């Protein structure tokens, strides 16, 4: 083990007045009194340091931050030791000193701090402040990775892929990358995309490669964005996973405030569902989203985001990418909807599960029959330009597939140019008439989820940037509705009814999703996931 020596640090304190700063009295005195009281804990001293570092009292003051960090670290408080290591590593407020950085990381790592363990491992891997030692790098990465620290999981995967400090093992590299990727860690998602494209420790899979690269690109990862932008075959993607092996990075010191009983505060992400390892090569899906209508029709707020996320969900269910038709905006015309359904009809078989999802406006003709409103619809000529739901169900009935699932988040409006309803509601609604579903062919394995009941409006969830129904539809399908490890039609329906109704009530309105037909037995209450 590398020997470390405790540094001698002299801190020169300058009064706030001489520094030209004067912290807000109430907050500064409150925190400062805690940190300077006779019974000050190292944790309170660390808290004081972080307040100075992020500028709670005015401009960030790294000298004061280091002072309080040093006081806390001298008491052996691991987060303070790790932060001092980072400041020396980056030369923030002190002269850059890789040896001092490694020293503080080592002290914190000995206490089990996963951030310090990861950064110390990186130092050993690259010989920064310590002698290069791949074996020590592997050991420290593994300690942090086993605590679920995503950066360590990613970097441990890289050591396995390169055979550094451990025997090369592509399968284990894949396993650790996947653990980090499932925590929404963009670098690991990019690495997983590369692995799937090259078949390193796993069977080559172009669809999964694109899936993970797109997730990473959505999070702003430049490598993934560049790879998606290149018109090259997937096997030409760079196999050098180490090229995006990550260096130590700062932590976010901003407090994450969660308000109790406030479901709109930081809603869980539903836009990047975990990818299943089970393929369903017989299944097909049609995903339609129209948000911005021409000719002055009100916009269907968040419909495009709905459709994009549902498309990702279909991929996560194991449906091959080339078995999914996505029609958005100008491509979502009545003729193309008919064409897509015809294509599914020609290619699906009795073992297929067929999914149809629509997000956009809905309306009724003078007789009260419901229609979906494609991009090219003319409100003055519904019969000839909109798409009849009766026609939709007749087309699906002809397919005779094993299972058919329809989900409609219809009647969006928002603040469109001619909207006469409050912002966030959907004035054009679908009213289900008796006999509407007679055309589904009596298939017991048929489920129709609608966003709201008759005479109700379907709203949006602005914090999540989704239709309210779609947001909980996605959450339910991603595991929220699971009972006993599986999700059935009735379980998803109960989940939607509970959560959508509750959120709508908080918005001071009524919205109760409906399932038709109601399951009457084991056959009709089939498994969705």
77-109 pLDDT, tens digit per residue, is: 999 899 999 988 888 888 899 999 999 999 999
Q: Tokens in use for 511?
A: 């919205």
Q: What share of the chain has pLDDT > 70, as a percent?
A: 75
Angle at 182 between CA 187 and CA 449, to 5 degrees: 130
CB atoms under 10 Å from CB of 381, counted, come to: 10
Over 70: is that where the pLDDT of 5 sits?
no
pLDDT at residue 150 in the model: 92
Over 70: is that where the pLDDT of 68 sits?
yes
Burial classification of residue 135, based on how many CB atoms lie within 10 Å of its CB (0-12 exposed, 13-18 middle, 19 or more buried): exposed
Residue with tokens 């310090």, as numbered in its chain: 116
- Alpha helices, H only, 130-184: 134-145, 150-162, 170-181
Q: Tokens in use for 109?
A: 């790592």
Residues 377 and 393: their CA atoms lie apart, in Å, by 19
CA nearest neighbour of 211 among 198, 196, 200: 196
Over 90: is that where the pLDDT of 285 sits?
yes
- For residue 337, the 8-state DSSP code is H
The answer as to whether 328 is a domain residue is: yes
Highest mean pLDDT among 60-64, 295-299, 444-448, 490-494: 490-494
Tens-digit pLDDT profile for residues 109-139: 999 999 999 999 999 999 999 999 999 999 9
Instruction: Count how many domains the chain has.
Output: 1
Mean local confidence (pLDDT), 338-353: 93
Lowest-pLDDT range, 191-200, 224-233, 248-257, 481-490? 248-257
The answer as to whether 299 is a domain residue is: yes
Residues 400 and 238: their CA atoms lie apart, in Å, by 44
pLDDT at residue 299 in the model: 86
The answer as to whether 471 is a domain residue is: yes
The answer as to whether 508 is a domain residue is: yes
pLDDT at residue 266 in the model: 52
The answer as to whether 174 is a domain residue is: no
SS3 518: coil
Residues 73 and 80: their CA atoms lie apart, in Å, by 5
Q: What is the CATH number of the domain that holds 361?
A: 3.40.50.1460
- For residue 243, the 8-state DSSP code is G
Tens-digit pLDDT profile for residues 9-44: 333 322 232 233 333 333 333 444 444 444 578 888
SS3 363: strand
Over 70: is that where the pLDDT of 430 sits?
no
Average pLDDT over the chain, rounded to an integer = 77
The helix-helix angle for 186-198 and 170-181 (nearest 10°) equals 140
pLDDT at residue 419 in the model: 29
**Domain limits for position 290:** 284-516
The answer as to whether 110 is a domain residue is: no
Contacts of 246 (CB under 8 A, 6+ apart): 151, 154, 155, 187
pLDDT at residue 457 in the model: 80
Over 50: is that where the pLDDT of 344 sits?
yes
The answer as to whether 454 is a domain residue is: yes
CA nearest neighbour of 52 among 38, 72, 37: 72
Over 60: is that where the pLDDT of 308 sits?
yes
The answer as to whether 409 is a domain residue is: yes
- Higher-scoring residue by pLDDT: 170, 23: 170
SS3 341: helix
Residues 116 and 140: their CA atoms lie apart, in Å, by 9
Residues 496 and 473: their CA atoms lie apart, in Å, by 7
Over 90: is that where the pLDDT of 359 sits?
yes
Contact present, 489 and 447 (Cβ < 8 Å): yes
């Amino acid at each position: 083990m590398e020997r470390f020596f405790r540094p001698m640090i002299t801190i020169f304190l300058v009064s706030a007045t001489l520094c030209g700063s004067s912290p807000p009295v109430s907050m500064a005195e409150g925190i400062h009194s805690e940190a300077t009281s006779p019974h000050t804990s190292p944790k309170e001293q660390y808290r004081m340091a972080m307040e100075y570092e992020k500028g709670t009292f005015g401009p960030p003051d790294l000298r004061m931050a280091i002072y309080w960090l040093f006081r806390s670290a001298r008491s052996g408080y691991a987060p303070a030791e790790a932060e001092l290591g980072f400041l020396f590593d980056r030369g923030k407020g002190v002269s850059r000193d890789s040896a001092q950085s490694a020293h503080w990381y080592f002290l914190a790592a000995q206490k089990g701090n996963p951030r310090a363990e990861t950064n110390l491992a990186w130092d050993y891997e690259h010989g920064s402040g310590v002698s290069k030692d791949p074996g020590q790098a592997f050991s420290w990465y593994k300690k942090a990775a086993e605590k679920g620290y995503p950066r360590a999981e990613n970097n441990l995967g890289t050591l396995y892929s390169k055979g550094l400090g451990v025997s090369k093992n592509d399968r284990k590299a894949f396993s650790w990358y996947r653990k980090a990727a499932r925590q929404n860690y963009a670098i690991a998602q990019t690495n997983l995309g590369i692995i799937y494209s090259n078949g390193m420790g796993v069977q080559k899979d172009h669809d999964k490669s694109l899936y993970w690269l797109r997730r990473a690109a959505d999070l702003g990862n430049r490598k993934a964005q560049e790879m998606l932008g290149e018109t090259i075959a997937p096997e030409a993607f760079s196999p050098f996973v180490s090229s995006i092996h990550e260096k130590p990075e700062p932590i976010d010191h901003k407090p994450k405030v969660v308000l109790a009983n406030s479901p709109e505060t930081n809603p869980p992400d539903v836009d990047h569902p975990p990818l299943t390892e089970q393929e369903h090569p017989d299944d097909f899906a049609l995903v339609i989203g129209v948000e911005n209508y021409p000719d002055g029709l009100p916009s269907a707020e968040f419909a495009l985001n709905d459709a994009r996320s549902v498309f990702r969900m279909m991929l996560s269910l194991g449906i091959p990418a080339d078995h999914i038709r996505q029609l958005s905006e100008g491509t979502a015309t009545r003729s193309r909807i008919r064409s897509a359904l015809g294509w599914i009809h020609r290619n699906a078989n009795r073992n297929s599960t067929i999914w149809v999802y629509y997000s956009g406006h809905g309306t009724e003709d003078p007789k009260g029959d419901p229609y979906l409103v494609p991009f090219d619809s003319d409100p003055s000529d519904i019969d000839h330009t909109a798409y009849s739901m009766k026609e939709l169900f007749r087309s699906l009935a002809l397919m005779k597939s094993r299972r058919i699932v329809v989900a409609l988040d219809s009647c969006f409006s928002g603040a469109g140019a001619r909207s006469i309803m409050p912002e966030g509601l959907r004035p054009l609604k679908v009213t289900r008439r008796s006999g509407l579903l007679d055309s589904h062919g009596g298939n017991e394995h048929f489920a129709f989820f609608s966003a709201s009941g008759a005479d109700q409006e379907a709203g949006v969830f602005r914090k999540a940037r989704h239709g309210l129904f779609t947001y909980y539809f996605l959450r339910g399908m991603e595991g929220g509705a699971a009972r006993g490890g599986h999700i059935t039609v009735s379980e998803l329906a109960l989940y939607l009814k509970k959560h959508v109704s509750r959120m709508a009530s908080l918005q001071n309105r009524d919205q109760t999703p409906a399932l038709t037909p109601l399951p009457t037995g084991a056959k009709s209450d089939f498994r969705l996931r």
